[in-house]
Structure 1
Amino acid sequence: MSFKLGVTRFAATTPSRRISCRISPPFSTVATLKICSSRRNYSSEDVAPAPPLLAKLKGDLKAAMKAKDKARLVVLRSVLAATLNASKTAQPIDTDAKLVALLRKTARTSQDAASEFKEAGRTDLVEKEQEQIQILEAYAQEGAGESASSEEVTAAVEAVMSELKAANASVRAGDVIKRLLAPGGPLDGKDFNKAEMAKIVKKLCA
């Protein structure tokens, strides 16, 4: 009798502990809520759309695999691997202009390789490189933006230099080139010879 009475008194004196056990969520629920609240809410707007030409290359890769087009497969896999590597750096290939520059650089590398193979008498390898060069140049031509003539590049350089002088800013070659190639700049997205542009800038800034 005394034992039952003791148990009853103990239960009566600890109501808050019993109630809290009933309403407190399990640990797993609390942990899940904390993790979810700490995560950033991503949306499709956080990811920049791929350049149109890059999307085309990815689509053409699937088509080349079905058609077993070896030369095109080699080109596309090489270029797409380069864009993937670039995406992990501070200079991703995020515009058609940058992708066209990569295609042309790859074509020059293939041209150098073809010259070496020719000297070595490997005409079979020369033909493979030439075939890949044609594919690279075709994609580069397709993705190239509006062409800018030498006169237009010179006019753009002079305009940027005038803007910098009006703002009492330094007119150095590096600053001018940054303005020219910046997003929305006078040469942004246009197809032109960058080496020639650099020569024009240096000449006018001298």
Structure 2
Amino acid sequence: MSTLERLNSDMKQAMKDKDKKKLTVIRAVRSSLKNEEIQLGRELNEDEVLTVLNRELKQRKDSLQEFEKAGRDDLASNIKEELEILAEYMPEQLSEEEVASLVKETIAEVGASSKADMGKVMGAIMPKVKGRADGSIVNKLVQQHLSS
């Protein structure tokens, strides 16, 4: 079952269960997916769906940080619930060790030797970890490996 089909069936189930929180999150994600389809002028493939889901996840993580800084625990707990719901639709995340080994492989593949090659390495590794690792973690590990 594709992620899009899963979102649709979960939305129907959330309606039946009267789960307003889940329904709101799924509707927001479906709206973002629909906007992306309109922008591209075609249906989205699974990778593009994951890209949109990642964007939604990142927006909520950023909001969570801002709410926590401002001391808005009520809004922060709300966002945490939304993050949990969104996480159900993401592929299993890679561990930091798995990302580190991918970073080493990619550095060897592109022949990178210094921080000046950071863009080449990031460009090569991000498609490999799409949706399965946070870009900031990948960036940090690439920097560590290129500086050592």
Structure-1 residue corresponding to 2:80: 133
Amino acid at match of 1:130: S
RMSD over aligned Cα, in angstroms?
Answer: 3.4
Which residue of 91, 104, 109 maps to 1:158? Answer: 104
Indicate if the aligned counterparts of 2:29 and 2:56 stay in contact, CA closer than 8 A.
yes
Structure-2 residue corresponding to 1:73: 23
Q: Which structure 2 residue ranges, 5 or more long, are not aligned?
A: none
Structure-2 residue corresponding to 1:88: 38
Indicate if the aligned counterparts of 2:29 and 2:53 stay in contact, CA closer than 8 A.
no
The number of aligned residues is 140
Which residue of 41, 52, 61 maps to 2:11? Answer: 61
Amino acid at match of 1:150: E
Matched position secondary structure for 2:93: coil
Structure-2 residue corresponding to 1:175: 120
Q: Deviations over 1:151-192 (max 9, x none)?
A: 3222211211212229xxxx722221222122xx3x345x32
Indicate if the aligned counterparts of 2:103 and 2:142 stay in contact, CA closer than 8 A.
yes
Output the TM-score relative to the length of structure 2: 0.68
CA spacing shift, 1:109–1:73, aligned 2, 3 Å = farther
Q: Deviations over 1:45-68 (max 9, x none)?
A: xxxxxx722321122222333443
Structure-2 residue corresponding to 1:195: 136
Deviation (angstroms), 1:195: 0.3
Q: Which has the higher contact order (CA 8 A, sep 6+)?
A: 2
The 5-angstrom pairing of residues 2-13 of structure 1 reads: none
Matched position secondary structure for 1:172: helix
Matched position secondary structure for 2:27: helix
Deviation (angstroms), 1:143: 3.0
CA spacing shift, 1:144–1:72, aligned 2, 3 Å = closer
Indicate if the aligned counterparts of 2:2 and 2:46 stay in contact, CA closer than 8 A.
no
Q: Which structure 1 residue ranges, 5 or more long, are not aligned?
A: 1-50
Output the TM-score relative to the length of structure 1: 0.52
Amino acid at match of 2:84: E
Structure number with the higher helix fraction is: 2
Deviation (angstroms), 1:110: 5.1
Runs of 4+ displaced beyond 4 Å: 112-119
Mapped to 1, the partners of 2:125 and 2:101 lie a distance apart of 11
Mapped to 2, the partners of 1:118 and 1:80 lie a distance apart of 30
Is the radius of gyration larger for structure 1 or structure 2? 1
